Amino acid sequence: MGSSTQNAIGTRVKTARQRRGWNREALAFHSGVSWSAIAQVEAGRRTNVRPSTLYSLALALEVTIDYLVAGRSTAAPMMEHRALLYATDAEFIEAAGSFLTEAIDRSEPALAVTTKHNIELLRARLGPRARGVQFFENSGWYRTPVGALKRYLAFLDIELGSAAPWVRIIGEPVHTRRQGPERRSWTRYEALLNVALGAEPVTVLCPYDMRRLDKQVLSDARATHPQLVSGSTVTPSREYSELWGRLL
């Protein structure tokens, strides 16, 4: 980093610290970075700020690392949010089974929340390797949108807190028999995931059984998921792009 960049980082650290009403001792306490190191950063005298130092300062100050470095939050979303619209058990197994197999091959923590029938299909497909996946029936998981989101966030906290580089989730909501406001709340839930988990290193695959769901639910799925899955192929969702194009 050049001297101008270093001075800018120091200025932003100092500004963020002062906005919180902290002196350097307080920032040192909350961040675990020494007082002397903070003084050097703020004065622009530290020519190479380590990533671990930037992370600790950003976390304590409740700003992003890219803000400290570049002056604004420019990070692109990391989450991959995909809809799998399947019409047969074979289509479900081809896509969901491959999804979990890749997770196991890469030592990525994997969670599968789906129907009892689909869990049996996945266990049969994976064989002994199914031990590398946590399975839950969706009837108990998806009781409310808030409850479902909290359970996913708790799973991510545990796995990412254990230094997992990436996490995979299969999440199949329970849409049958839900009408009117309740159905709309679950559509909003799927849209909210793009924001709530957007910055997380996670791939979420949401299966939709076309044999049991009406056209509106399937249309909502295409509009709330940036990506669609067919077999092993992942493509951008045209409906999602068109919706956000109209909003923007």
Kind of pairing between the strands at 202-209 and 80-86? parallel
Cβ-contact 203, 82 below 8 angstroms: yes
Give the model's pLDDT for residue 73: 65
Tokens at 187, concatenated: 């559509």
**Sign, CA torsion 92/94/98/100:** positive
- In the sheet with 110-114, reading across from the earlier edge strand, the strands are 133-137, 110-114, 167-171, 202-209, 80-86, 227-230, 233-236
Query: What would the mean pLDDT of 229-237 be, rounded to a whole number?
Result: 90
Query: What would the mean pLDDT of 128-138 be, rounded to a whole number?
Result: 97
The neighbouring-strand residues paired with 136 are 113
> Each residue of 58-111: pLDDT tens digit?
999 988 888 888 887 666 678 999 999 999 999 999 999 999 999 999 999 999
**Residue 186: alpha-carbon gap to chain centroid:** 18
| pLDDT, averaged across the chain | 90
Give the model's pLDDT for residue 69: 86
At residue 6 the predicted structure's pLDDT band, cuts being 50, 70 and 90, is: low
Give the model's pLDDT for residue 244: 64
- State the distance between the two ends of the chain, measured CA to CA, in whole angstroms: 35
pLDDT at 25 over 90: yes
Domains with residue ranges and CATH for the chain:
3-70 (1.10.260.40), 80-247 (3.40.50.300)
Query: What would the mean pLDDT of 3-10 be, rounded to a whole number?
Result: 71
Give helix then strand counts, H and E, for the chain: 13, 7
Query: What would the mean pLDDT of 150-170 be, rounded to a whole number?
Result: 94
Q: Which helix (H) or strand (E) holds 185?
A: helix 180-196
What percent of the chain shows pLDDT beyond 70?
A: 92
Place of tokens 């789906």: 114
Tokens at 183, concatenated: 């159905």
